[in-house]
Chain A
Amino acid sequence: MRILIVEDDAALASFIRKGLEAEHHAVDVAHEGTQGRAMAMEFDYDLVVLDLNLPGVDGLSVLKSLRQRKANLPVMILTARSRVEDRVQCLDSGADDYMVKPFSYLELSARARALLRRSHLPSESVLTVRDLCLDRVERKVERAGRHIELTTKEFALLEYLMRNAGRRLTRAMIIEHVWNLTFDSTTNVVDVYINYLRRKVDDGFTPCLIHTVRGVGYQMCPEGASA
């Protein structure tokens, strides 16, 4: 996929570029609004990652111009403003997603994938990682043909891991997506539920699919390799 980053902070733009390129995307960077708007209008991008606070033309004006000419182009906004009013204004102006600094690169990468998936592919009803299958419609999970009984929360957690198979997920990302709660580093609920899942999904099967990523969180490995 081809992605445009419009971000005036050169260091941050280079980290995002590096991360997205490592995920095999073609990435262009613009450091100010006028240049970013011109590039987004001229070339065909699959996603624009747009900072709001830009020199020249501000991000909101770039977004509004883009929406007039490229209504279907996914745009993810980056901003340091966290107030609900700011978020509403961005979404009302046509943003598809919104990330507040200081965000995690892993979260940005996951949301970029979701936006790209939404704009290119129909939503999958059955997720598969090696011999593990999760049917989102029937609410059924099987590994190597054997039925696995999960609670509602375990099912949601497994679905999130499988949807992001091969990607590292932080505890904060997991608690915010699966529990819909603001992350509190004092709770160990994610670790406890990962253990519940491991007992049901990995115990007695090879290879183990759920891996701990030291210092970060967890990862479902499609190849079963050590994380």
Chain B
Amino acid sequence: MSTSQHLFPKPPRGVDVMGELLHSLSQPLTSLRCSLELSIEENAEQQATVSAALQQTEKVIGMIQLMREYLDAEQPEPRAFLSALAPAVRSLVEELSSIAEVRGVGLRLVGTCTAAMPVPESRLRLALQYLIAALIEAQPGGGKVTLLLGESPAGAVLRAEGEGSSGGPKHRGTSLQTTLRGARIAIASRVLESAGASLVFGGSDVDPTGFVLRIPRGVGAQ
């Protein structure tokens, strides 16, 4: 009895078990990915097979990365980080505008704010990227996405609006794409809400028509 108590003082949390499993999975997946990448050049005859295997491996890796991002979002960073919202949104709009353009969607940013959030910059960018990219994806060709940044005595607001109706179920892509989009939005929500912001969606998680991110005044105060 005492031995088993020593070995298992208390059952591990689900989030820790998941973290360890994902951590352990990353090692064999790295070997698999590297070996396939190196094999492509060596096996001219098998190139199509190796390419297909590499593409499938990369899909699995993409899903594992999403799971890790979700787990990371569940656990606050021990070190204090502070990231400004407006520069993050501005640089993302710059980077995402070419993706929007390729899809025939207009993307513009209006306004600014001075708010900062207690979250690492890379994680804030990731959350905003997932939200804005999902909104761009949900627009039909010729649609527009407008981002409005502003400030009031209550705090800062980022309002994102899609203009043009979604193309319905066909437009949403495969069920895997829909699942992945839903997972990315869940990650974004978790990151932003655990940093003290509130996020409200228009439409649904998998078919967004807009969102409003509110950062109450004082959220970024150290």
Interface residues of A (CB under 8 A from B): 9, 11-12, 15-16, 18-19, 22, 80-85, 88, 100-106, 108, 153, 168, 172, 179-189, 192-193, 213-216
On whether the beta carbons of B30 and A82 are closer than 8 Å, the reply is no
On whether the beta carbons of B129 and A102 are closer than 8 Å, the reply is no
Taking A9-B31, A186-B137, A215-B40 as known contacts, 17 extra A-B pairs with beta carbons closer than 8 A to each other, sorted by chain A number, are A9-B27, A15-B35, A19-B38, A83-B72, A85-B77, A102-B25, A102-B32, A102-B64, A104-B34, A104-B37, A180-B95, A181-B129, A184-B133, A187-B99, A189-B98, A215-B47, A216-B51
On whether the beta carbons of B68 and A82 are closer than 8 Å, the reply is yes
The residues of A that contact B87 with a CB separation of less than 8 Å are none
Q: How far is the CB of A108 from chain B (nearest CB, A)?
A: 8
On whether the beta carbons of B52 and A102 are closer than 8 Å, the reply is no
The residues of A that contact B96 with a CB separation of less than 8 Å are 181
On whether the beta carbons of A105 and B120 are closer than 8 Å, the reply is no
**Across the A-B interface, the 6 shortest Cβ-Cβ residue pairs:** A215-B51, A102-B29, A105-B34, A101-B26, A84-B120, A102-B30
Cβ contacts B110-152/A at 8 Å (1 or 0 each): 0000000000101100100100010001000000000000000
Q: How far is the CB of B169 from chain A (nearest CB, A)?
A: 16
Q: How far is the CB of B40 from chain A (nearest CB, A)?
A: 6
Interface residue total, chain B, C-beta cutoff 8 A: 52
The residues of B that contact A184 with a CB separation of less than 8 Å are 133
Q: Is the interface of B mostly helix, strand, loop or mixed?
A: helix
Q: Which residue of B lies closest to A191 (CB)?
A: B102
Instruction: Determine, out of B8-16, B53-61, B157-165, B208-216, the stretch whose residues face the partner at the interface.
Output: B53-61
B218, CB-defined interface residue at 8 Å: no
A183→B133 CA distance, assembly (Å): 11
On whether the beta carbons of A153 and B81 are closer than 8 Å, the reply is no
A216→B32 CA distance, assembly (Å): 15
A86→B137 CA distance, assembly (Å): 33
Q: Among B24, B51, B52, B98, point to the contact of A179 (Cβ < 8 A).
A: B98
On whether the beta carbons of B77 and A84 are closer than 8 Å, the reply is yes
Known: A15-B34, A18-B38. A188 touches B26 (CB 8 A): no
Q: Which residue of A lies closest to B99 (CB)?
A: A189
A85→B81 CA distance, assembly (Å): 10
The total of interchain contacts (Cβ-Cβ below 8 angstroms) comes to 114
B48, CB-defined interface residue at 8 Å: yes
On whether the beta carbons of A85 and B27 are closer than 8 Å, the reply is no
Q: How far is the CB of B74 from chain A (nearest CB, A)?
A: 11
Q: How far is the CB of B94 from chain A (nearest CB, A)?
A: 9
A183→B69 CA distance, assembly (Å): 13
Known: A9-B27, A12-B34. A215 touches B50 (CB 8 A): yes
Known: A12-B31, A186-B137, A193-B98. A84 touches B58 (CB 8 A): no
The residues of B that contact A83 with a CB separation of less than 8 Å are 72, 75, 77
A216→B37 CA distance, assembly (Å): 8
On whether the beta carbons of A88 and B102 are closer than 8 Å, the reply is no
- Residue with the greatest number of chain B CB neighbours at <10 A, chosen from A84, A106, A179: A84
B173, CB-defined interface residue at 8 Å: yes
On whether the beta carbons of A192 and B122 are closer than 8 Å, the reply is no
| Cβ < 8 Å to A, chain B residues 66-90 | 68-69, 72, 75, 77-79, 81
On whether the beta carbons of B34 and A16 are closer than 8 Å, the reply is yes
Q: Among B31, B54, B120, B133, point to the contact of A215 (Cβ < 8 A).
A: B54
Q: Which residue of A lies closest to B72 (CB)?
A: A83
The residues of B that contact A168 with a CB separation of less than 8 Å are 37
On whether the beta carbons of B54 and A216 are closer than 8 Å, the reply is yes
On whether the beta carbons of A15 and B31 are closer than 8 Å, the reply is yes
The residues of A that contact B123 with a CB separation of less than 8 Å are 84
On whether the beta carbons of A189 and B54 are closer than 8 Å, the reply is no
